Amino acid sequence: MNFNFTFSQADKRPMYQQIMEQIIQRIAVGDWPPNTSLPSIRQLATEIKVSVITVKRAYLELEREGVIVTQQGKGSWVSDTIDMNELRHEELEQHLEQAGKLAKSMAISADELLNMLKKYT
């Protein structure tokens, strides 16, 4: 199996968050529909060359958010009660957060930012 996760060293977020994002994206675009089995933690870790403990943390956080379900001895799979809209919503919110931060550092006001955003809606 090849998961082709790509990480960016320029991304300042911790690695486990980047893994979570990549998994959520795969679920959001429908590549990993509900009930899809996830690779075992060790399998994914050795495949994407990231430490086991980091992948474990990503899975734990995803489980806490209700995106995946994990059962001891059985592995993990994509939750079937998952709300696609909510997932996409979360993803959108992450993008907005990034945009907000960037705007703030460039001293762009909220109104200005809103105006800029209108171009895309």
Task: List the one residue out of 83, 37, 34, 41 whose CA is nearest residue 58.
Answer: 41
> Any contact of residue 59 with other proteins (CB under 8 A)?
no
Among 34, 35, 37, 46, binds other proteins (CB under 8 A): 46
Among 37, 51, 98, 109, binds other proteins (CB under 8 A): 51
In the structure encoding, which two tokens stand for residue 32, read together? 């990993």
65 burial level (CB within 10 Å; 0-12, 13-18, 19+): middle
Among 3, 5, 15, 70, binds other proteins (CB under 8 A): 15
Closest distance to other proteins from the beta carbon of 104 (Å): 10
Distance CA 105, CA 98 (A): 11
Q: Which residues bind other proteins (CB under 8 A)?
A: 9, 12-16, 42-43, 45-46, 49-54, 57
